[in-house]
Amino acid sequence: MHTLNQRRFLKYFSVLTLGLTLVSQSVAHAITFLVDETGYHPNAPKRVIIQDVPATLPLDSTEVLLIDPNERDMLSLSKGKVMHRVTEVKRLKKPQTTSGPLTETWVLDFSEFQQPGAYDLTLVGTGDKTTIKISEFHYWDTLKPVIRSFFLQRSGQEIRDPLTDIYHTAGHVDDATLISNQNLPGTLMNPPKDVTGGWYDAGDYAKHTMTTSLTVSKLAALYEWNPDPLNFLSLDYPLGEPGAGEVPDYLHEVKVGSDWLLSMQRRDGAFYSKVAGLNWPGIVTPQDDTQDRYIFGATTQDTAAAVAALASTARSFKKKDIGYTVKCLMAAERGWRFLHRNGPTAEVTPQDTKGSRQYLNLSNLKNDTPYRLWAAAELYLTTGKETYHQYFLTHLLDVPLAPVSWKNPALQGITNYVLYAKQPHPKTKAALTKVLIQMADSTLEKVKQTPYTVKFKNGKASSNPQILEDTSLLLIAYRLTEEEKYHHAATQSTRYLFGLNPLDKSFVTGIGNNSVEHPHHRLMQATGKIIPGMVVGGPGARDLDAITGSSLPPLKTGVIDYADEPTALRTNEPAIEYNARLAYVLGVLNAIYNTKEEEFDPSRQQYPPGLE
């Protein structure tokens, strides 16, 4: 019988022998670890995918270890202590290929390991490893640059930010004077209207009422879910930031978008749709885009969206700035009165050229009910007035229920109604709850069909916004049922955006070792500096962009393309509305994991590694 020390020696010797054997048997290969580059929460499910594993590598006898490189193993006296042995390793179906060595994909699950730290995930005997980070502040640290990116996307303001080394003078300060839907050469000038400020919509320098409304509403919805941690979020504004400190930084940034929406309202209550020049600007910084800029005509779609956003903003500021709450609510109700007096309309203006109405649903121009339904829901939640409630109940069946998009944003109001209405119609709430859970269940079933745990639709659009909206539905289903399967699936889906995808790519700028470096974004292209925390559109159908991208393997739906190139307008452009969706998902996951059973500690706030 062996003594304890003898048994330990034999076990160590056998592992060492196995490793040497595997090294001698292995052939040249390039194993790829797909991980969440931002890290893993201790209490969350944890998955890693290993691609390009040689088929000759024995799954059953290859040890996968989590090693703390800063600790010493007392048995071997070498640096690197084994902290966990990964036992749940599954092999996916071998690829059907006839060229090159046969490889396979492994899926690892180490959810039971919950100790915070940085570890080497190691395939014993191969020399292959990657770094795994586990932290209870995982979502909080990632949320900060995502929210802060809105500050760096502002219009009409000088940016001098030492944290990101982004500097430029104020651009488009004449948005205050270059007015209206008629002041083209040869037409009469309208009175000036101040429409400076706000956020640039995406990679160009246009500002849209529709996407700003969706952004503000989504950020307000996150605040409504759980405001407590967000009240402590410091965005490290540079000295001299106007109005900083009057309300929490999170709400201060929401106010930037809401203030601009207020400036876009006409006296009759309608909201203009857009501020932009008539031509696409070149690759220049904002102050160098000196073309004339115009306000584009009002629409009832944009008006209803702005009404919804301002009503939700009013709720967010109720305990922090009652004066601003009243201001936003008065504007929202004035907008609703315009909608009540007018049927679906969209003013056609002289500057309506190609691309100018990209956020106007021209295919269904005569039906703006989805936008009105959203507005009615938000107004009812804010005011409790039965007029808005009755509109919502009366027209609910007139709107198809689908994930939120600018073409049909109704579900934003519907989910808020189900979650937050103080006196909902009981049968309506029950029916809507059932539908929301069914939609989440559909996503849940589809994410199980791929190791990347996303529901991917191979349509004529980029995929990341759709993935984020599906993930939001999973989180809402968790709120309604308290079943962990929903927020576990949401956790896994979110990781797709941060590197756990076939390209081993983080689709969020500045976050991860292989993040987006060449987005379609004029400010980043012109300055050569990355704004951290901006999610790009992501892979789409082949030939979605007019360039040849990297081909990804089928995700149960066909081959999709993506290229990290500035000319990839559809798949590699960030947008404020995309970022609002990402912020919502990260913020809700933080609330679920960090405030459910333990007190949230707001004192530790920092960027993810590499962004200090």
Domain ranges across the chain: 4-134, 138-595
- Alpha-carbon Rg of the chain, whole angstroms? 26
Measuring CA to CA, which residue among 501, 414, 406, 405 is closest to residue 453? 501
The pLDDT of residue 198 is above 60:
yes
Q: What is the pLDDT of residues 264-318, one digit of tens each?
A: 999 999 999 999 988 889 999 999 999 988 888 899 999 999 999 999 999 999 9
State CA 167 to chain mean position distance: 25
Query: What DSSP letter does each residue of 255-266 carry, written as one string?
Result: HHHHHHHHHTB-
Q: Quick one: the chain helix, strand, coil %, rounded to 5?
A: 40, 15, 45
Give the global pTM.
0.89
Query: What DSSP letter does each residue of 173-230 carry, written as one string?
Result: GGGGTS--SS-STTSPPPPP-----SB--SSSS-EEHHHHHHHHHHHHHHHHH-HHHH
Look at residue 34 in the predicted model and tell me its pLDDT.
94
Q: Which CATH superfamily is domain 4-134 in?
A: Immunoglobulins (2.60.40.10)
Write the CB contacts of 119 (distance below 8 Å, at least 6 apart in sequence). Answer: 66, 67, 68, 69, 83, 84, 131, 132, 133, 134
Q: What whole-number distance in Å separates Cα of residue 533 and Cα of residue 344? A: 37
If you average pLDDT over every residue of the chain, what do you get?
84
CB atoms within 10 A of CB 232: 15
Look at residue 539 in the predicted model and tell me its pLDDT.
85
The pLDDT of residue 496 is above 80:
yes
**What's the token pair of residue 258?**
């809401």
* Res. 176 pLDDT band, cuts 50 70 90: confident
- What average pLDDT does this structure show over 327-340? 98
Query: What DSSP letter does each residue of 129-154 carry, written as one string?
Result: EEEEEE-TTHHHHHHHHHHHHHHTTB
- Residue 14 class from Cβ within 10 Å (0-12 exposed, 13-18 middle, 19+ buried)? exposed
- What average pLDDT does this structure show over 464-472? 94
Question: Cα angle vertex 470, ends 465, 473, to 5°?
Answer: 130
Asked if 128 and 103 count as a contact pair (C-beta separation under 8 A), the reply is no
What percentage of the chain exceeds 90 in pLDDT?
Answer: 64
Helix (H), strand (E) at residue 273: strand 272-277
Q: What whole-number distance in Å separates Cα of residue 37 and Cα of residue 24? A: 31
* Res. 19 pLDDT band, cuts 50 70 90: very low
Measuring CA to CA, which residue among 170, 138, 135, 165 is closest to residue 155? 170
Q: List phi, psi (to 5°) of 407.
A: -80, -20
Q: What whole-number distance in Å separates Cα of residue 88 and Cα of residue 546? A: 42
Of 70-84, 376-390, 582-596, which one has max mean pLDDT?
376-390
Look at residue 112 in the predicted model and tell me its pLDDT.
94
Q: What whole-number distance in Å separates Cα of residue 299 and Cα of residue 347? A: 6
Measuring CA to CA, which residue among 512, 530, 594 is closest to residue 232? 594
C-alpha separations of 62 from 65, 73, 318 in Å: 10, 20, 58
Q: What whole-number distance in Å separates Cα of residue 308 and Cα of residue 216? A: 9
Write the CB contacts of 122 (distance below 8 Å, at least 6 apart in sequence). Answer: 64, 65, 66, 67, 128, 129
Write the CB contacts of 167 (distance below 8 Å, at least 6 apart in sequence). Answer: 159, 160, 161, 527
Q: What whole-number distance in Å separates Cα of residue 532 and Cα of residue 509? A: 5
Q: How many CA atoms lie within 13 A of 571 on its CB side?
A: 26
- Give me the helices (H) in 448-548, please: 464-481, 484-497, 522-527
- Residue 498, amino acid: F
- One fold for 4-134 and 138-595: no
Query: What DSSP letter does each residue of 350-364 carry, written as one string?
Result: TT--TTTTTTS-GGG
Q: What's the CATH class of domain 138-595?
A: mainly alpha
Classified as helix, coil or strand, 166 is strand
* Res. 382 pLDDT band, cuts 50 70 90: very high
C-alpha separations of 157 from 169, 315, 524, 569 in Å: 7, 27, 16, 26
- What average pLDDT does this structure show over 453-475? 82
